Amino acid sequence: MSKQLGENYYRKLLELQQLEFALVELTLYLDTHPNDLQALQQFNQLAQQRQQCATQFEMEYGPLMQFGHSFSKYPWQWVETPWPWQV
Amino acid sequence: MNATKQTRDWYPFVGPFDPCPPKYVKTYVVPPNQFIPFQPMNLPQFPLADALRLGTLWPALFSPYESKCRPGEAQKG
Amino acid sequence: MWIYQKKLQYPVRVSKCDPRVARYLVEQYGGADGELSAALRYLNQRYSIPDKVIGLLTDIGTEEFAHLEMIATMIYKLTKDATPRQLEEAGLGPNYVIHDNGLFYNNSSGVPWTAAYIQAKGDPLADLYEDIAAEEKARATYQWIIDMTDDVDLQDSLKFLREREIVHAMRFKEAVEMIKADRDTKKVF
């Protein structure tokens, strides 16, 4: 089964990648700066934004994570294409 | 962005019997992490879209690099 | 435990079928300073490093797996649907004979990955300095691969990975400072 991925898919994915990248950067930074309250607040705020963004993405394009960290519609969506290297 | 120059040049000795055409200047990269012993708090940040594109959230850590391969110059695959 | 995310850390695009560059990229897949070595090196060092830097090793080690997947994606896209003839011209003939299109953890010269690439001395400073050196070596390797291709889409993803090496080296340098500091006191910089 080969479904077409629209422009919307790539835009939503990019938005998620942008949020998650900032979270990666802040994570590594906080690992060596555990007392930076402002960075911590930014981290928590972005984590909340990421959650909303990821939920929206998953509603449209299926689960991002397995083992119960994402929900699935019927039938089981995890095994569906595309995988990350295919897009 | 980072005002400091991120490359250094050196001038290798050129011998009279080296068959390849000599390079008079050689260059290497000195990225900004070499000048920051411990990142200070509250450094200015890139907007999130730029941060992803450039690979860091902080302009102070950004190091540009351009390919030495000009368009169309690469060997055919 | 690790949870996989069904997405890349950074979008990977390539603009042409190019097995020649794919072969060079294999260096960052299963080479000495590649992403597999990096991930396994950091995650393995966690068990003997002082508690205050375990978090950093865990997180950088985890990010390296995301980079490994990006490299795999580049190789996949650069060689997808390439003919055996094209692969052979790129020096990937032996690889095709052994693995067909399958990826394998070896370096760009075909030498299989070995645990000897990574060290765990058990000494925090020795381990962290190895990590800093590994990041700078990976940065240099990315530069040389960027120099070998005129594909601007591929260059874009490679520049991202190169910059990540710089940020990781920065954090490892900070970890060294934390290790050097006397007592477990939190230092404000």
| CATH at residue C71 | 1.20.1260.10
- Tens of each residue's pLDDT in chain A, 87 residues: 456 789 999 999 999 999 999 999 999 999 999 999 999 999 999 999 999 999 999 999 999 999 999 999 999 999 999 999 999
**Percent of chain C having pLDDT more than 90?**
93
Both structure tokens of B51: 């941060």
Range with the poorest average pLDDT among B69-73, C54-58, C148-152 = B69-73
If you average pLDDT over residues C116-132, what whole number do you get? 95
What pTM value is reported for the model? Answer: 0.95
Q: pLDDT band at C104, cuts 50/70/90?
A: very high
The answer to whether position C156 is within a domain reads yes
Return d(Cα C140, Cα C132) in angstroms, integer: 13
Report residue C96 CA to chain centroid gap.
23
Element (H, E) at B54: helix B48-54
Q: pLDDT band at C127, cuts 50/70/90?
A: very high
pLDDT in tens, C32-55: 999 999 999 999 999 999 999 999
Residue B14, min C-alpha distance to chain C (Å): 24
Return d(Cα A11, Cα A53) in angstroms, integer: 12
Task: Of C78, C102, C87, C86, give the one whose Cα is nearest residue C154.
Answer: C78
pLDDT, residue C182, reads: 80
Q: Which residue of B67, B70, B73, B76 to mutate against C (max C Cβ within 10 Å)? A: B67
> Hey, where are the domains in chain B?
1-12+22-36+43-62
The answer to whether position C171 is within a domain reads yes
pLDDT, residue A73, reads: 96
Q: Is C67 annotated as a binding residue?
A: yes
Nearest CA in chain B to C146: B67
pLDDT in tens, B6-49: 999 999 999 999 899 999 999 999 999 999 999 999 999 999 99
Q: What are phi and psi of C106, to 5 degrees?
A: -135, 175
Residue B70 confidence (pLDDT) above 90? no
Return d(Cα A83, Cα B11) in angstroms, integer: 49
Q: Which residue of A11, A16, A18, A49 to mutate against B (max B Cβ within 10 Å)? A: A18
Could B49 and A18 be called an inter-chain contact, meaning their C-beta atoms sit closer than 8 Å?
Answer: yes
Nearest CA in chain B to C170: B33
Return d(Cα C78, Cα C154) in angstroms, integer: 10
Return d(Cα C152, Cα C158) in angstroms, integer: 10
ipTM above 0.90, yes or no: yes
